[in-house]
Structures are given as structure tokens and as C-alpha cells.
Chain A
Amino acid sequence: MKRLTKIALAAGVLAVATTAIAQPKPENFVKQRQSALALIGWYFGPLGAVAKGEAPFNKEDAVRRTTNLVALSKMPWEGFVAGTENVGNTKALPAIWTKTADFKKAGDNMQAEMAKLAALAAAGDEAGFKKQFGAVGGTCKACHDDFRKQ
């Protein structure tokens, strides 16, 4: 009985805590998406030197980066909620909230191409990896061109 009380109490505390963090302010959403995209840049950028032939292909490093990238590629989208159009230093264009289907497609494209890049890294396919890197970069650019202030 005592144990059950403890569990109930813990569950109650957790519920309160969850409720507390489940109501982010608009600026938190902006921070969420910017952080996710910044991390994507962090893990993706150095692979550009590999694709350009300026750095050697290192399978272990490519796998580590793309594993993180596949997870990260799913993250920024939940930060683009309505009501965060003009919050803080956002570069998000209104088109994100008016052309929602196109924006989702742009995000889905990136995730799909990123998954392929990770598969090629895991397979140790250097030539395929370099080529696919350009395809992923293309999806970044497509979305930036249409949905981001230049």
C-alpha cells in the first residue's frame, strides 16, 4: 500500500512536470527548430568536404554523423507551429503556414534523402555517398529557397 502511494505520488509529480514543459512559449518553438537545424548543419557541413573531395571518406565518421542526422532530420518540423511566424529572429517565411502541403513535402524530401545517405554510409559506398550528399543538399536548398528569408 505504501509502495503504491509512492508510485501514485511519483506519477502525480511527473504529470505536473510534463504539463509544465508541455506548454512552451512561441519563442521556445523557434528555439527548438533553430537548434535542430543548427545541429543538422553541424553534423552535415563537414561531410561537404568529403563530397567535394577535400577530406577523405571515413566510414565510421560518416555513419556517426548520418545516424545523428537521420534522427535530427525528423525534429525541426514540430517547431513550425502556428503563431510563431514573426517570433524572435526567425527567418521563416509566411509560406510555411500558407503552403503547408508544400512545406511538409520539402521536409519529407529531406528526411527521405537523408535516410538514403545514412544507408550508403552504413554500406561504406563512398561514390554513392558523395553523390547522395548532393541530393540531400539539394533538398536543403529547395526548402531554403522557398520557405526561408534570404
Chain B
Amino acid sequence: MTKPATDLISAPVWDAFVRVFHWSLVLLFTVSIISGKVGGNAIQWHMWSGYAILALVTFRIIWGFVGGEYARYVSFLTGPVRAMKFAKGLLGKTHEHVIGHNPVGGWMVVALLVLLAMQAGLGLFSNDEIATTGPLARYVSDETSITLMGRHRTIGDILLVLVGIHIAAVLFHLIVKKENLIRAMFHGNKELPPELAREAQTARKASITVGFVVLSLAIAAVTVAVNWSTLFKP
């Protein structure tokens, strides 16, 4: 049963790193898609935003092990049976509250992270056969580079579809389930039933230090990868 809103208590769920990651990614993903479609000199923006996405996603993948409780995979990854059950419940009249990512959304998070990492990684090796090659394209054959470019296009399309589903799901929660997940991703708090709210309040917090260390490492790793040819001149 859907509980009346008055019974719900606001509790912190999303740590600051998750939130900044999410909205930075929204911005960068938009820049990447548009600049990729436009081409021409916009491709410079495409490359910069791709590097930034690679760093962010690298960070987020590690953050899934060491971040705040609800950023961790162990908190949101469930088996297919649980996910199916939750999905069925969503389509029915019940409203099962979940503190972090729900069992279906959790898998979407993983799918998006994996595909984004692949996509940005492929970009580094791609050759668009016009005047742009990724910074690591020189280390593979032209044939490989052009093949990888094809994969880069395909995954770009898949990502657009997944992002579309992601947005549709969030709007479904907003309109049908009256649960504003968008606002929660801004200020970090979710409206939860008392027992879940208490659990969220006492859950493991994110370490700011660990967050910045991981973020710095991710940025450093991407910077080295992108500048590999100038750092290690053959």
C-alpha cells in the first residue's frame, strides 16, 4: 500500500560524490552526444567531455566499493528474482520503498557505468576517418581503430536508449508513484518510511578524504592515458 506522505521522513541517502557525479555526467553526456552528432570543430569538445566522463566513471566504479552505503554495489545489486518481483510491484498499486537504488534501477546503474566506461575507452582508440583520432589510436592498427569507431557509434546509440529508459523510469516514479527521485539526487535526501529512514540515518557515511583520493587517482589515470604519446615518446 502507498503510504500517505505525512508518514514519510526525509533521510540522507545520496552522498555528495554520487550527486556531483550524477549531474556532472548529465552535463557531459549531453555535450558528448551533441558534439559527436555535430562533428566538425565540435569534435574537440567531444574529446574533452569524453576524457572527463572516463575520469568520472572510473571514479564511480571504484566508489561503488568504497563510497557511502548507498553508493556501494553491495547495497543495491540484487538477484534477478528480486528485481523481477520489484518490477511487478512497480506496475501494480503497491509502492515498495527502497532506500538507495531499487533492484531494477541498480542494474541500470551498472549497465550505464559499464557502457559509459566502454564508450569513453573506445573513443581513445577510435579513428573517425576525417581528421580526428583518439589519443591512443596510434597504438593499434588503422583497421582496428576504424572497427572500434564502429563500436563507439553503436554503443553511443545503445546509451541513448538506456538514458531514455532511465529518464522515463524517473518520470514514472515522479508522476505515477509520486516519488521525486530527481530532487533527491540534488539534495541527497529521500522521503522514506520511518524504519527505513532510521536505517538510512545510521548507515555508513561517505569519507570525503577517500572520495577526493579516488577522484584524484581517476583523473590522474585518465590524464596519463590521454597524454601517453607525449609522456612516453617512442
By a beta-carbon cutoff of 8 Å, the part of chain A in contact with chain B is 41, 44-45, 47-48, 51-52, 130-131, 133-135, 137-138, 140-142, 144, 150
Contacts and interface: CB of A to CB of B under 8 A. Distances in A.
B41 A144 contact: no
Nearest to A138: B40
A141 B39 contact: yes
B130 interface: yes
A130 B150 CA distance: 27
B131 A138 contact: no
A34 B106 CA distance: 47
Nearest to B128: A141
Contacts of B43: 137
Interface of B: 38-44, 128-132, 149-150, 153
Contacts of B153: 150
Given A45-B131, A48-B132, A144-B130, A137 B39 contact: yes
10 contacts: A41-B129, A48-B132, A51-B41, A131-B41, A137-B40, A137-B131, A140-B39, A140-B130, A141-B39, A142-B39
Nearest to B131: A48
B44 A137 contact: no
Interface centre among B38, B40, B132, B150 (most CB of A within 10 A): B40
A142 B40 CA distance: 10
A48 B41 CA distance: 9
If over half of A's interface residues share one DSSP class (helix, strand or loop), that class is named, otherwise mixed; here it is helix
Shortest 3 CB-CB contacts between residues of A and residues of B: A134-B41, A48-B131, A134-B40
Contact of A141 (B40, B44, B149, B150): B40
A44 B131 contact: yes
Given A52-B44, A130-B41, A131-B41, A137 B130 contact: yes
B40 A135 contact: yes
A108 to B, nearest CB: 18
A134 B39 CA distance: 8
Nearest to A137: B40
Contacts of A150: 149-150, 153
A47 to B, nearest CB: 7
Contact of A51 (B38, B131, B149): B131
A93 B132 CA distance: 23
B104 to A, nearest CB: 32
A45 B129 CA distance: 8
Given A44-B131, A48-B132, A144-B129, A133 B41 contact: yes
B129 A137 contact: no
Contacts of B149: 150
Contacts of B41: 51, 130-131, 133-134, 137
Nearest to B149: A150
Contacts of A44: 130-131
Given A150-B150, A150-B153, A134 B42 contact: yes
Nearest to A52: B44
Given A150-B150, A150-B153, A138 B129 contact: no
Contacts of A137: 39-41, 43, 130-132
A106 to B, nearest CB: 13
